[in-house]
Amino acid sequence: MKKTIAVELNRLATEQMNPAAANLDCQSALGIARIINAEDAKVSDAVKHALPQIARAIDLIAVALSRGGRLIYVGAGTSGRIAALDAAECPPTFGTKPRSIQFVIAGGAKALGRAVEANEDSRALGEREMARKKPGKHDVVVGIAASGRTPFTVAAIEYARRQGAKTVAVACSRNSALGKAAHLAIVAETGPEIVAGSTRMKAGTAQKMILNMLTTGAMTRMGLVYDNLMVNVHLKNEKLTERGLGILEKATGLGRTQATELLARAHQQVPVALVMAKATVARTKAVQALKKAKGNVRKAIVLA
């Protein structure tokens, strides 16, 4: 068993030594920073090659969420933490409900703050943790693993697929077990890391970029972004209230005083205020239009 794992790891590009980082420990601080920066510059290109697959995943997620389904991320270690971050940031950015975008991480919540490496080797735990989410035909489950071989994540994706969920793999290695387990594989080949095997670096950056695209793309397709403004933001603190006012000013051309008054009439709901202003309707009609449009602001303006 250990020999098989060793062979698998030795074949992975992410585990190889990077010639660009030869004698890294002999470099000055500026030298180290320059080498890392030069390698990081390659990440965007690696992600660019996966754009068609990313686009397909965006549409899968948008359809699922618009029908009341969920996006469920699953990963271990760095991949799981990046997934948790993206899931946590969607409600304040797009006004989504916490149940809509969830995450499963090997080792549970405690793994967010400290490493719980052993759990990622367990297929049984991966299946069990995913089973707790009760994935089904309305959901999209996205598995993230730089190597594409993490047993916990592969088993979770296999289970979700058996239950009828659409499944997506995000990996940095081609022809991986994770990619084969999912309906759709997104592969960003970032190559050897500056510190061999430390996939928190280029691979982690690629994963963050991809997850940003998946959720931002899906939310935009669902109309929770108007133009390029996060109009579905919830005004829960002073900063977000200021942002909401700024959004209204930019989208409507109103002055500060007018935008403040409009937002008050809209009960501090930016999408409602925007529909009121653009369609010249009362709050009640704007709310009804947004409900019919399932939150899609641009469609709601037309309906109103």
Find, among 215, 240, 235, 229, the residue nearest to 85 by Cα. Answer: 215
89 has catalytic annotation: yes
The 10 Å Cβ neighbour count of residue 155 is: 23
CA distances in angstroms from 302 to 13, 47, 70, 155, 272, listed in the order given:
51, 36, 27, 45, 13
Catalytic option among 15, 120, 129, 158: 120
Token pair listed for 273: 């205020």
d(CA 90, CA 278): 26
Give the C-alpha distances (Å, rounded to integers) separating 101 from 83, 130, 232, 248.
Answer: 10, 14, 16, 27
Three-state DSSP state, 103: strand
Q: Which of 54, 41, 82 is nearest to 218 (CA)?
A: 54
The token pair at 226 is: 């108007």
Establish whether 249 is a catalytic residue: no
Q: Which of 8, 15, 39, 89 is catalytic?
A: 89
Active site residues: 89, 120
